[in-house]
């Protein structure tokens, strides 16, 4: 139950009501005061003062002054009339309730309207500012444009002037030339006859075609041309200069090169050289050079060349144990296995070599061709002709110029067709 504040004093004039409400000891803030056009409430819990006003007031202009222990209201009446009392006399509970609610609603609406009005003004201010800046920038731009335009016009005028000068000069020259021509025609005809007898055939040929072409232009130009030719050196004696183009590690221009792939390949090679297999315990009794995969590879190659295939395989096996990332070891071992007719091993080794020969770059083309060919051969000897043909065709794709591969591929195709029929 609120505590009603009843000690209020009021007086009025024709247009306003002055109400003073003592609130001894209480702290009042504007939030505690609630006022609409017919209802006034001051709520400082637990104290409460409310008044249903006798007549409507202008609540936007009315003021409340919060002083020391007292609130002083100045309420401006909507209609200038004298009130009988501050509040409505016969106010029953329901009416009170209704009025209160109404008042609250009205207050809400007013608040909403106010915020909206604020928004609108803010927008307008922004717009105005924007337009102002745009105008300024426009002015600046225009100024620069004007400067440029002035330059342009000045320059155009100069150009026109120059052009006129050119035209005048040309006309003059032409008139002059025609005058000279009449004097010289006879002389030059004589000279030309002489020259035609002396010069070589090709010379004459060109000058004749030129005569035909210049017919329309006027004869003077041809004659003056002949004169000048006498002063020029003879055509150069023909010669050829042979040139070479810059080679790169990969013979492609920068714009064509697949640099990324090529770098990868180079890196892989470098890494492969460095890997050393972990399992060295059994290999301790080997000589120093026998631990070098390259040396072993060379050994293997030599033995392959002499026909000692088993020894070559041994050498390659050891090399692989030391460094299993060198594709050439597998490639050469595959060749040995082919000769030894270990066809499955040959296929395995060729496949391993191909795996290691990625990414496919021009540098490892040869190696890849060999790998495909060897695997293809192995397949064919196992009578797996379709797989063999696939490998041969892959080889052919890398190296289309190779006649042997083409011939072999053809043979395989015939074989396949023969068996299916």
Q: Give the binding site for other proteins (CB under 8 A).
A: 147-148, 151-152, 155-156, 159-160, 162-163, 166, 170, 202-203, 205-206, 209-210, 212-217, 221, 224-225, 228-229, 232-246, 251-255
CA distance 29 to 296: 100
CA distance 348 to 353: 9
CA distance 6 to 350: 110
**Least distance between other proteins and beta carbon 321 (Å):** 41
CA distance 147 to 152: 9
Q: At what angle do helices 385-398 and 365-381 cross, to 10 degrees?
A: 160
CA distance 98 to 267: 90
C-beta of 183 vs 206, nearer to other proteins: 206
* DSSP H or E stretch at residue 64: strand 57-66
C-beta of 76 vs 223, nearer to other proteins: 223
**Least distance between other proteins and beta carbon 165 (Å):** 10
Contact 210, 229 (CB under 8 A): no
Strands lying side by side in the sheet with 57-66:
9-12, 16-22, 70-77, 57-66
- Checking DSSP bridges between strand 47-52 and strand 3-4, what pairing results, if any? parallel
**Least distance between other proteins and beta carbon 249 (Å):** 13
**At which residue do the structure tokens 């010669």 appear?**
239
For residue 391, what are the CA distances in angstroms to 378, 394, 397? 10, 5, 10
C-beta of 125 vs 157, nearer to other proteins: 157
**Least distance between other proteins and beta carbon 374 (Å):** 28
C-beta of 127 vs 171, nearer to other proteins: 171
C-beta of 115 vs 202, nearer to other proteins: 202
What secondary structure does DSSP assign to 244-281, as a single string? -PPP-SS-S-TTT--HHHHHHHHHHHHHHHH---S--S
Question: Is the Cα torsion angle 283, 285, 290, 291 positive or negative in sign?
Answer: positive
**Least distance between other proteins and beta carbon 304 (Å):** 31
C-beta of 47 vs 203, nearer to other proteins: 203
**At which residue do the structure tokens 């030599």 appear?**
302
CA distance 353 to 293: 16
**Least distance between other proteins and beta carbon 211 (Å):** 10
* DSSP H or E stretch at residue 40: strand 39-44
C-beta of 27 vs 228, nearer to other proteins: 228
Tokens of 311: 């020894």
Give the number of residues written for the chain: 421
C-beta of 244 vs 421, nearer to other proteins: 244
Contact 353, 337 (CB under 8 A): no
**Least distance between other proteins and beta carbon 224 (Å):** 6
* DSSP H or E stretch at residue 370: helix 365-381
C-beta of 208 vs 298, nearer to other proteins: 208
3-state SS assignment for residue 61 = strand
**Least distance between other proteins and beta carbon 197 (Å):** 18
**Least distance between other proteins and beta carbon 355 (Å):** 30
Residue 79: phi, psi to the nearest 5?
-110, 135
**Least distance between other proteins and beta carbon 327 (Å):** 27
C-beta of 205 vs 359, nearer to other proteins: 205
C-beta of 217 vs 287, nearer to other proteins: 217
For residue 394, what are the CA distances in angstroms to 173, 212, 354, 397, 400? 73, 61, 12, 5, 10
**Least distance between other proteins and beta carbon 382 (Å):** 39
């Amino acid at each position: 139950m609120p505590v009603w504040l009843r000690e209020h004093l009021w007086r009025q004039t024709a247009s306003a009501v002055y109400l003073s409400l003592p609130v001894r000891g209480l702290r009042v803030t504007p939030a505690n005061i609630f006022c609409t056009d017919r209802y006034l409430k001051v709520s400082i819990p637990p104290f409460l003062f409310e008044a249903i006003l006798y007549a409507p007031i202008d609540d936007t202009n009315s003021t409340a002054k919060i002083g020391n222990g007292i609130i002083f209201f100045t309420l401006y009446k909507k209609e200038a009339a004298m009130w009988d009392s501050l509040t409505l006399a016969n106010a029953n509970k329901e009416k009170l309730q209704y009025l209160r609610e109404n008042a609250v609603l009205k207050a809400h609406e007013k608040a909403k309207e106010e915020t909206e009005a604020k928004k609108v003004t803010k927008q307008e201010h922004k717009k105005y500012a924007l337009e102002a800046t745009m105008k300024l920038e426009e002015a600046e731009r225009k100024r620069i444009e004007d400067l440029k335009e002035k330059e342009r016009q000045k320059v155009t005028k100069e150009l026109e002037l120059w052009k006129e000068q050119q035209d005048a000069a040309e006309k003059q020259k032409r008139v002059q030339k025609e005058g000279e021509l009449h004097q010289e025609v006879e002389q030059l005809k004589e000279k030309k006859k002489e020259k035609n007898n002396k010069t070589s055939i090709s010379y004459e040929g060109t000058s004749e075609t030129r005569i035909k072409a210049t017919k329309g232009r006027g004869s003077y130009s041809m004659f003056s041309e002949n004169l000048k030719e006498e002063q020029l050196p003879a055509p150069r004696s023909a010669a050829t200069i042979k040139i070479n183009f810059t080679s790169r590690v990969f013979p492609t221009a920068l714009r064509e090169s697949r640099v990324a792939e090529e770098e990868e390949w180079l890196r892989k090679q470098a890494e492969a050289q460095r890997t050393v297999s972990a399992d060295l315990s059994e290999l301790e009794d080997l000589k120093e050079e026998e631990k070098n995969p390259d040396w072993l590879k060379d050994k293997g190659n030599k033995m392959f060349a002499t026909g000692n295939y088993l020894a070559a395989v041994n050498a390659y096996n050891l090399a692989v144990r030391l460094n299993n990332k060198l594709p050439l070891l597998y490639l050469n071992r595959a060749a040995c296995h082919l000769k030894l007719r270990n066809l499955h091993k040959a296929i395995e080794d060729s496949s391993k070599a191909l795996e290691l020969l990625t990414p496919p770059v021009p540098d490892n083309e040869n190696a890849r061709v060999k790998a495909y060919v060897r695997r293809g051969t192995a397949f064919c000897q196992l009578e797996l002709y379709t797989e063999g043909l696939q490998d041969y065709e892959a080889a052919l794709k890398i190296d289309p110029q190779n006649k042997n591969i083409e011939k072999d591929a053809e043979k395989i195709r015939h074989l396949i067709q023969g068996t299916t029929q």
